[in-house]
Amino acid sequence: MALDSPLHSFYSLRQQRLTTATKEFRARGAALKRCETCLLGIDTCICNWIPRYHCDAEFILLLHNNEVYKPTNTGRLIGDCFPNNSHCFLWSRTQPDADLLQLLTRPGYTNYIVYPWENEKTNNQDTPDLKKDVVQSLADDGTKPCFILLDGTWKQAGRMVKLSRWLDAYACLHFSEEGRNYAVRKSHLEHCLSTAEAAAICLRMAGEVKASEILIDYFTVFNQHYLATRRVKMPAQGESHKRLAELRN
């Protein structure tokens, strides 16, 4: 079902960071006039296709410091789709937010760190010999899943999961997926997915197929519009646009 909902916690966090920042964040495309909500160009704005949907799964996004500023960030797409089921926090190695710690101790939820730990051990010989539980399926005990997403570059995400002792209690959820579709920021590692793609797979694992499809459609629209922004042309509208428009109506 579609929901009418206010902007989610990513935008509150971003506004807070902009208010306290001591210098301007500069990156490629910084001179472009952007929509303040979706962060794409004014002419390629995707706000008309933002879906609002409810799912039973929960997401906690731990953002590396600069992710709140990046228009290429896909973690915020999760909050756009599921504003009542997503919670965004800046990552801290030693001082996690008190509200974050409270979320992690809620009864009725099982927390999973979404990170390919098995690949980390295989591909990185410098990884410390840390013991980490790894699961490939969700608990069948009546609890709802809460997916902890490490939102940053893959190098940053690796540091986040390895250096945060307060995350040690939670297992890593490992999955393989073919056909990465993210056309904006790519990794050279085949097992690496964008944050939004990983979240869509998590939803599918949780049996929330409709929610997963909505997120992928929105992710597809984001990709198309972002590339159109770079190419300074209007994006073509496809089936994903049509399905999202029908959902909003």
Burial class of residue 75 in the structure, from the number of CB atoms within 10 Å of its CB (0-12 exposed, 13-18 middle, 19+ buried): buried
| Residue 186 in domain | yes
The chain-wide mean pLDDT, for the chain, equals 84
* Residue range 67-73: mean pLDDT, rounded: 89
Could you tell me which residues come within 8 angstroms of residue 6 by beta carbon, excluding any fewer than 6 positions away? 83
Q: Decide if 11 is inside a domain.
A: no
Give the per-residue pLDDT at 5.
43
The answer to whether residue 104 scores a pLDDT higher than 90 is yes
Where residue 22 falls among pLDDT bands split at 50, 70, 90? low
pLDDT of the residue at 14: 87
- Position 177 pLDDT exceeds 60: no
**What's the total number of domains in the chain?**
1
Q: State the angle between helix axes of 195-205 and 209-231 in degrees (0 to 180), rounded to the nearest 10.
A: 170
Confidence at residue 27, expressed as pLDDT on a 0 to 100 scale: 56
Pick the most confident of 32-41, 49-58, 120-129, 176-185: 49-58
Q: What is the pLDDT of residues 83-99, one digit of tens each?
A: 999 999 999 999 999 99
**DSSP assignment string, 9-21:** HHHHHHHHHHHH-
Three-state DSSP class for residue 74:
coil
pLDDT band, very low/low/confident/very high, at 246 (cuts 50, 70, 90): very high
Q: Which domain holds residue 22?
A: 16-248
Q: Whose CA is closest to 97, among 66, 127, 62, 70?
A: 62
CB of 174 within 8 A of CB of 117?
yes
Q: Flag the least confident range among 114-123, 179-188, 220-229.
A: 179-188
Measured in degrees and rounded to the nearest 5, phi and psi for residue 120 equal -60, -45
Burial class (CB in 10 A: 0-12, 13-18, 19+), 165: exposed
Q: Is the pLDDT of residue 7 over 90?
A: no
Has residue 121 got a pLDDT over 70? no
Range in 26-40, 43-57, 218-232 the model is least confident about: 26-40
Q: Specify if 1 maps to a domain.
A: no
Task: Decide if 3 is inside a domain.
Answer: no
Rounded CA separation 113/157 (Å): 11
Would the pLDDT of 188 be above 50? no
Distance between CA atoms of residues 203 and 59, nearest Å: 10
For residues 49 and 39, the answer to whether their CB atoms sit within 8 Å is: no
Q: Is residue 65 part of a domain?
A: yes
| Apex 27 CA angle, 26 and 31, nearest 5 | 75
Domain contains 4: no
Please tell me the predicted confidence (pLDDT) of residue 178.
44
32 forms beta bridges with: none
Give all strands (DSSP E) within 96-230, no chain letters.
109-114, 134-135, 144-151, 171-173
Judged against a pLDDT cut of 80, whether residue 26 lies above it is answered with no
Instruction: Give the model confidence (pLDDT) of 190-202 as tens digits.
Output: 446 889 999 999 9
Residue 215, φ and ψ in degrees, nearest 5? -65, -40
The neighbour count for residue 42, using CB atoms within 10 Å, is 11
Strand, helix or coil for residue 203: helix
Taking each helix axis from N to C end, the angle separating 209-231 and 239-248, rounded to the nearest 10 degrees, works out to 120
pTM to 2 decimal places: 0.86
Strand-strand pairing, 58-63 and 171-173: unpaired
Domain assignment present for residue 54? The answer is yes
Confidence (pLDDT) at 186: 47
pLDDT reported for residue 181: 45
Q: Give all strands of the β-sheet with 171-173 in edge-to-edge order.
A: 86-90, 58-63, 144-151, 109-114, 171-173, 134-135
The verdict on residue 6 lying in a domain is: no
Does 46 score more than 90 pLDDT?
yes
pLDDT at 55 over 50: yes
